[in-house]
Amino acid sequence: MRRFLPAALTLLMTLSAGVSASAELKTDITFAKVGDVTLTLDAYVPEGPGPFPTAILVHGGGFTKGDKTSYITPLFKPLSDAGYAWFTINYRLAPQHRWPACMDDVETAIRWVRAHAAEYKVDVNRIALIGESAGGHLVSMGGIRAQGDTAVAAVVPFYAPHDLFRRAEQRKEISEGLAGLFGVSKEVSDASLQTMKEGSPFYKLKAGLPPYLLIHGDKDDKVPYEQSVLFQEASRKLGNTCELITIPGGGHGMGGWKAVPAGATYANEMITWLNKVMVKK
């Protein structure tokens, strides 16, 4: 099912997202139904014949909140201006839905985008998976698990919690969101720590991954900057391409980066990197 926005609201969103008059922004497109849950996405298709480089966007929110039009929205305009098709998706949230429901939904969205490539002018050889915070964790895991109809050409995790085990040990507890996601107690135990390790992209790293670009503020008080530093080091040791853009003075959330100098350039740097690694075939 597709719901098209009223003309006035469409125009407002079009202008704010940097979408040209001939481009299309379609909202609330159903990409899956799981039990009684309907999963939807919004799709932006640039003007022209395509096929276009494409981004699948995964929002944050601690695995318990947020949706396709929250947190991730600062990326809409840069991607539109750069001529990218993009899809921003919903996924099932904890604690109502436990792991790996959210991961399954991200992979289902990748399959849907690939299956509808002709309709939305998607270049299936140039699909990037981009997520922030909890969504960064999901895209990071998605890149590691990617194969066949879930394959992607690049992965961009923003301030992602790659190592849930390390974070739990540091905090001496498991956050409420993660406890709900994995169905464990907030108290640290051998069993709960093992669950955190199993759910961490860091411990799933292997050779032969698609290129990764990590973007993280060095003043992040929610997900420590070291999470990206250590992930990059481990990935590179395996021979993978893994770059890191540091936002000096940046906290948790790209929406707050406007206050720091580097906050004005990260999106352009991301686009430049994507254009370099996702070469048109």
pLDDT score recorded for residue 2: 36
Q: What is the rounded average pLDDT for all residues in the chain?
A: 93
Q: Which helix (H) or strand (E) holds 212?
A: strand 212-217
Token couple for 210: 């698609």
Residue 247 contacts residue 257 (beta carbons within 8 Å): yes
Token couple for 78: 């840069």
pLDDT score recorded for residue 9: 41
Per-residue pLDDT reduced to its tens digit, 229-267: 999 999 999 999 999 999 999 999 999 999 999 899 999
Buried b (16+ CB within 10 A) or exposed e, 53-74: bbbbbbbbbbbbebebeebbbb
Burial of 162 (0-12, 13-18, 19+ CB in 10 A): buried
Percentage of the chain beyond pLDDT 90 is 90
Extents of the domains making up the chain: 7-163+200-277
Q: How far, in Å, CA of 161 to CA of 157, rounded?
A: 9
* CATH of range 7-163+200-277; options 3.40.190.10, 3.20.20.100, 3.40.50.1820, 1.10.1040.10: 3.40.50.1820
The pLDDT profile of the chain, 281 residues, written as one tens digit per residue, is 333 344 334 433 543 444 444 688 999 999 999 999 999 999 999 999 999 999 999 999 999 999 999 999 999 999 999 999 999 999 999 999 999 999 999 999 999 999 999 999 999 999 999 999 999 999 999 999 999 999 999 999 999 999 999 999 999 999 999 999 999 999 999 999 999 999 999 999 999 999 999 999 999 999 999 999 999 999 999 999 999 999 999 999 999 999 999 899 999 999 999 999 999 87
pLDDT score recorded for residue 23: 87
Half-sphere exposure of 255 (CA within 13 A, CB side): 10
Q: Which helix (H) or strand (E) holds 203?
A: none
